[in-house]
């Protein structure tokens, strides 16, 4: 009689540490070593969520994963963004406790055991490592970056509890239940996933803060740029009015308003300064404004679906065509309302709204939503 096969049951990790990465190859080995050192024999895993880094970050992670089952790699193709990467990493684990930490080694990983103990011993939902709690610090930041951070903290009061000293922190640990209760409400925009979680969860989260001093980056370059400011503004707007107005439409409209200024600047240059006919100036200004709107929307509003190379040129063509039709719709609606005696201001506003909605809806589907080959 054949022996019955037995299968050893191995429970999953108690703690999963999610690390979003982009061009962090040189930090992978050091971070894994530090996690192993501070967590010791605890049951843990680390999930690196890599946005297809050109420096081979994912490959470096897989080399370590082949030797250590606690290391995992989740590589995303065609998607970008720290917050969305964190969400995907969190959803890829069964661990009852989930931490988020940056790969650049600026966070103090030695706080992880204390964070885990705090979640297990009391009624806390989430533990935040704070640079602004008593005993914390921002390290070698210059005055400009420190000022921007303080301003971001103040603006966050619109959507997060005032008692939270560091809603901009990228280092925290929470119970899995927090993710399960808020994941469908998360915006996953930009870099500030912690503020997103606090603003999305109902009822308010029970939290604890642990002070730490922000370190100097170990290797690589900072990802902070002007786009980060835009993403943060879009996150706040989404939490404030997103239930009524799509935040992409708000961003699209802001860019469109800037495009009006570009239109008049080009028209003034061609018509007034270069002395071409008004029709020529208007045509050049129209195409200039459309091209400006397309380029800026591609970088900001649709950053996660950004077009490059030949796709950029195809996207520009479809955008100009769609907006040209939108211009005719604007004119037709405005003219009809004006002819009914409703006044030029109401007619103009109605035409602008119809044109804006058309341009947004059509370009979202045809320019950035079309399948890529």
Angle among Cα 352, 354, 357 to the nearest 5 degrees reads 105
Q: Looking at the domain assignment, is residue 10 inside a domain? A: no
23 and 146 both lie in a single domain: yes
CA distance 22 to 75: 10
30 and 150 both lie in a single domain: yes
CA distance 58 to 74: 8
Q: Looking at the domain assignment, is residue 362 inside a domain? A: yes
Q: Looking at the domain assignment, is residue 5 inside a domain? A: no
268 and 208 both lie in a single domain: no
Last residue of a domain, one of 240, 275, 295: 240
Q: Looking at the domain assignment, is residue 160 inside a domain? A: yes
215 and 304 both lie in a single domain: no
74 and 100 both lie in a single domain: yes
pTM reported for the whole predicted model: 0.77
Q: Looking at the domain assignment, is residue 81 inside a domain? A: yes
179 and 124 both lie in a single domain: yes
Helix axes 193-200, 226-241, angle to 10 degrees: 0
183 and 207 both lie in a single domain: yes
196 and 256 both lie in a single domain: no
Residue 291 has which token pair? 């091209």
CA distance 189 to 157: 18
Count how many domains the chain has.
2
316 and 170 both lie in a single domain: no
300 and 324 both lie in a single domain: yes
Last residue of a domain, one of 240, 256, 286: 240
Q: Looking at the domain assignment, is residue 373 inside a domain? A: no
pLDDT in tens, the chain (373 residues): 455 555 677 888 999 999 999 899 999 999 999 999 999 899 999 999 999 899 999 999 999 999 999 999 999 987 778 888 999 999 999 999 999 999 888 899 999 999 999 999 878 999 999 988 888 887 666 677 777 777 777 777 777 777 888 888 889 999 999 999 999 888 877 778 888 898 888 888 999 999 988 876 656 555 555 577 777 778 777 878 878 888 888 888 889 888 888 878 887 888 778 887 767 777 787 788 889 989 999 988 888 788 888 999 999 999 989 888 877 776 677 678 777 877 767 766 777 787 788 888 888 888 887 655 4
Domain that holds residue 263: 247-366
DSSP for residue 268: I
234 and 251 both lie in a single domain: no
What CATH number should be reported for the domain holding residue 154? 3.90.550.10
Helix axes 226-241, 247-267, angle to 10 degrees: 130
Q: Please choose, from the candidates 53, 56, 52, 49, the residue with its C-alpha nearest in 3D space to the C-alpha of residue 84.
A: 49
219 close to 28: Cβ distance less than 8 angstroms: no
Last residue of a domain, one of 240, 273, 303: 240
CA distance 74 to 176: 19
91 and 232 both lie in a single domain: yes
Q: Tell me if residue 73 falls in helix, strand or coil.
A: strand
């Amino acid at each position: 009689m054949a022996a019955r096969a037995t299968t050893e049951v191995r429970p999953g990790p108690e703690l999963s540490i999610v690390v979003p990465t982009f061009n962090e190859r040189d930090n992978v080995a050091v971070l894994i070593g530090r996690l192993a050192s501070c967590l010791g024999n605890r049951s843990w895993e680390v999930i690196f969520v890599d946005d297809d880094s050109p420096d081979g970050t994912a490959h470096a992670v897989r080399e370590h994963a082949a030797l250590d089952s606690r290391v995992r790699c989740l590589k995303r193709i065609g998607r970008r963004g720290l917050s969305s990467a964190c969400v995907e990493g969190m959803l890829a684990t069964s661990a009852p406790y989930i931490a988020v930490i940056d790969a650049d080694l600026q966070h103090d990983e030695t706080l992880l055991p204390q964070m885990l103990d705090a979640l297990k011993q009391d009624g806390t939902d989430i533990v935040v490592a704070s640079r602004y709690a008593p005993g914390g610090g921002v390290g070698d930041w210059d005055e400009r970056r420190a000022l921007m951070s303080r301003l971001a903290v103040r603006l966050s009061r619109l959507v997060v509890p005032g008692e939270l000293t560091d809603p901009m922190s990228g280092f925290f640990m929470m119970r899995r239940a927090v993710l399960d209760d808020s994941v469908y409400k998360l915006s996953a925009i930009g870099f500030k996933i912690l503020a997103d979680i606090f603003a999305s969860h109902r009822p308010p989260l029970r939290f604890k803060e642990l002070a730490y001093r922000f370190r100097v980056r170990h290797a690589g370059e900072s990802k902070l740029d002007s786009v980060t400011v835009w993403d943060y503004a879009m996150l706040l707007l989404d939490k404030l009015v997103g239930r009524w107005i799509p935040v992409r439409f708000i961003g699209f409209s802001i860019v469109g308003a800037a495009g009006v200024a570009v239109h008049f600047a080009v028209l003034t240059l061609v018509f007034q300064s270069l002395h071409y006919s008004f029709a020529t100036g208007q045509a050049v200004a129209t195409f200039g404004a459309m091209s400006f709107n397309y380029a800026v929307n591609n970088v900001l509003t649709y950053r996660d679906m950004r077009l490059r190379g030949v796709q950029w040129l195809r996207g520009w063509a479809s955008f100009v065509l769609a907006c040209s039709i939108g211009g005719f719709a604007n004119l037709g609606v405005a003219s009809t309302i004006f002819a009914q005696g409703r006044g030029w201001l109401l007619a103009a506003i109605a035409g602008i709204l119809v044109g804006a909605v058309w341009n947004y809806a059509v370009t979202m589907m045809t320019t950035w939503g079309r399948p890529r080959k």
